[in-house]
Structure 1
Amino acid sequence: MRNTLVRMLVALMCALAACADVMPVQDFDLQRMAGKWYLIGFATNAPWFVNQKANMKLGTAIVVATDGGDMDLTYAHIKDDGTCWRTTHLAKKTDTPGRFTFHSQVWNNDNDMRVVDVAYDEFALVHTIKTKEGASEVLNKLYTRSPEVSVALQQRFTDFSIETGILPENVAILPSAAECPVA
């Protein structure tokens, strides 16, 4: 137990140092990012994820570009009881294209989100630093336009996650699941 905790603390410190240098993709285009995505990859050293990753399944994200250049982001996934869990965040644009910030009412944390790699018709790699009560965690997500993901893209996501300080065992490609109906 102690060894695991020490490894997680070391990984978190490395992640925070590495994340300071993680920049959004050049020439980010929010209009092209808009639409439906499948949340297929998830990676973080956060204790809640370590305890829950075996139960997590693929979900969806809908990205809408607002008139002001902000990102309206709605997540949905089917829970084990068949009901849908949904949450929406209004991610405010920053002076850096591809970088957004928002406060999550659900989790009561501040989020610094960066779209670090994207092929708008195929995938997006999103890196977020979540801060709550002075403690920060790194969360990487892999979004795809279809529920299938190539081995090469899985490896790209895994490599990026490890480079940002996430332990290899905390990188997950989520299994398929039914989708929530459109709200």
Structure 2
Amino acid sequence: MKITLLSVTLTMVLLMDVHADVKPQRNFDVKRFAGRWYRVGLAYNSAAFAQHRNKLAVCMGVVEPKSNGDVVMTVWRTKSSFLCQKEVYKYEKTSVPGVFTYFSTRHGRMKDVTVVETNYSEFALIHKHRKFHREFTQVSLYSRTQKLRPEVIEKFKRYALQHGFPEESIIIPPLTDNCPHARH
């Protein structure tokens, strides 16, 4: 019994350490993070992702902090040349500023969302993953505008590569005008 309990404990400690190198923005301020953001970069480590990479375009979201520290993220995505899809996510605050959890209906699991780095006025690096399972880990580059300086895009690519994402999974999607709701 001791060996089984010891091996279970060791496994849990190792699993908890999988994302120990993912640190949130120091002194994260959710009020400064509020407002419109465009997802202008994406890296996803799921093998199934590669077949969808040509379907992606820049999408827009609005971050709305709540008085309890939670965040509502409304996202508009172009699904086809005629369809604009709106999705609403509720990110629940954790005890660590800049780290949130949310329930992914697509994957049926809780996920962590960490604001790794932001200067609030130009860009943000977001690390999203399913707890204890790296299959659905993703890194996003958010921008206050639809275009970013090349230096910031390179920073995003370096971050993704340093966290084990293959180069072919790092995408800078094309701009889109096909989502009228996103042009607010």
Q: Pick closer, same or farther for the CA change 1:96–1:69 going to 2, 3 Å.
A: same
TM-score normalised by length of structure 2: 0.84
- Aligned equivalent of 2:120: 120
Is this contact kept in 2: 1:18–1:165, CA < 8 A? no
Tell me by how many angstroms 1:106 deviates: 3.6
SS in 1 for 2:111: strand
- Aligned equivalent of 2:7: none
Tell me by how many angstroms 1:135 deviates: 6.2
- Aligned equivalent of 2:77: 77
Higher mean Cα deviation, 96-105 or 16-25? 16-25
Structure 2 residue runs of 5 or longer lacking an equivalent are 1-15
Q: Pick closer, same or farther for the CA change 1:94–1:131 going to 2, 3 Å.
A: closer
Is this contact kept in 2: 1:24–1:99, CA < 8 A? yes
**Equivalences for residues 28-39 of structure 1 within 5 A:** 28-39=28-39
Tell me by how many angstroms 1:116 deviates: 0.4
Provide the rounded CA distance (Å) in 2 between the counterparts of 1:90 and 1:181.
Answer: 20
- Aligned equivalent of 2:50: 50
Provide the rounded CA distance (Å) in 2 between the counterparts of 1:180 and 1:129.
Answer: 30
Could you tell me which amino acid in structure 1 is paired with residue 125 of structure 2?
A: L
Higher mean Cα deviation, 95-104 or 173-182? 173-182
- Aligned equivalent of 1:171: 170
**Equivalences for residues 130-169 of structure 1 within 5 A:** 130-131=130-131, 136-169=135-168
Provide the rounded CA distance (Å) in 2 between the counterparts of 1:25 and 1:119.
Answer: 9
Provide the rounded CA distance (Å) in 2 between the counterparts of 1:57 and 1:81.
Answer: 11
- Aligned equivalent of 1:11: none
Is this contact kept in 1: 2:45–2:135, CA < 8 A? no
Provide the rounded CA distance (Å) in 1 between the counterparts of 2:89 and 2:47.
Answer: 23
Could you tell me which amino acid in structure 1 is paired with residue 150 of structure 2?
A: V
Q: Number of residues paired by the alignment? A: 167
The CA deviation string for residues 83-139 of structure 1, in whole angstroms up to 9 with x for no partner, is: 11121111100000000001022442321010000011101100011259x664210
Is this contact kept in 2: 1:76–1:180, CA < 8 A? no
SS in 2 for 1:162: helix
Provide the rounded CA distance (Å) in 2 between the counterparts of 1:18 and 1:111.
Answer: 14
The CA deviation string for residues 9-55 of structure 1, in whole angstroms up to 9 with x for no partner, is: xxxxxxx9663321101000000100010111000111232110111
Provide the rounded CA distance (Å) in 1 between the counterparts of 2:60 and 2:117.
Answer: 19
Is this contact kept in 2: 1:111–1:129, CA < 8 A? yes
Is this contact kept in 2: 1:121–1:145, CA < 8 A? yes
If you compute each CA radius of gyration, which structure gives the higher value, 1 or 2? 2
Is this contact kept in 2: 1:74–1:89, CA < 8 A? yes
Is this contact kept in 1: 2:71–2:91, CA < 8 A? yes
- Aligned equivalent of 1:62: 62
Provide the rounded CA distance (Å) in 2 between the counterparts of 1:135 and 1:157.
Answer: 19
